[in-house]
Amino acid sequence: GNSVTQMEGPVTLSEEAFLTINCTYTATGYPSLFWYVQYPGEGLQLLLKATKADDKGSNKGFEATYRKETTSFHLEKGSVQVSDSAVYFCALSPANQGGKLIFGQGTELSVKP
Amino acid sequence: DTAVSQTPKYLVTQMGNDKSIKCEQNLGHDTMYWYKQDSKKFLKIMFSYNNKELIINETVPNRFSPKSPDKAHLNLHINSLELGDSAVYFCASSLAVSDSPLHFGNGTRLTVT
């Protein structure tokens, strides 16, 4: 079956620290992979995506590379800001299932000044 | 200019009541979804509609009945509400392809007392 596993939170970092949030997946076929971010009281927003192996998605200083050999899609940012505090969700969209997303459990990030 | 809007934002009701949540998108997308987010932030798909046709029903109790009068609207009606229905419900829309990102509404927080 299809599933996504993320590292547990909460993750607490100081401003300008390096961020890694681990994400691994199991899937049949070749899914597309996504990171979404949820700020308090809001819906999820797409952060970045990758649609095939070795693709790198990037946005707002965040990056993630689709690693088929390790079935991973880890999220990284070189220098976090207080405004990055949010819940981050890794997700996969199975091939040929019309856009359905399967989410990981979310990782809460708190960045302190 | 809200892309995906859902109402109400908050809904407090008693067990046994029937309630509805409305969702509209102005993005011209073909596919709409309902997701449920539990108290631990875990997101699970409930339903997906493509051009008013139900394409995903993830073993949701039949007390939940989605209705899509047109492809821009997907409403969720819940009969005989139970305590366990308390959650945040998110509407989303996308193009009907597996690498198309979802656009989420801001959620409806349902509290059943």
Cα distance between the two ends of chain A: 41
CA distance A41 to chain B (A): 7
Cα→Cα distances A22→A14, B8, B16, Å: 19, 35, 41
Give A41's contacts in chain B (Cβ within 8 Å).
Answer: 106
Chain A within 8 Å of B48 (Cβ-Cβ)? yes
Quote the strand ranges of B8-107, DSSP E.
Answer: 10-13, 19-25, 31-37, 43-50, 53-57, 64-70, 73-78, 87-94, 103-104
d(CA A37, CA A45): 5
CA distance A100 to chain B (A): 7
Q: Which of A51, A96, A100 to mutate to test the interface with B (most CBs of B within 10 A)?
A: A100
* Contact between A42 and A64 (Cβ < 8 Å): no
Chain A within 8 Å of B33 (Cβ-Cβ)? yes
Task: Please give chain B's pLDDT, 113 residues, in tens.
Answer: 669 999 999 999 999 999 999 999 999 998 999 999 999 889 999 999 888 888 888 878 899 999 999 989 999 999 999 999 999 999 999 987 667 889 999 999 999 99
Give A103's contacts in chain B (Cβ within 8 Å).
Answer: 42-44
* Contact between A48 and A35 (Cβ < 8 Å): yes
Placement of tokens 């981050």 in the chain: A88
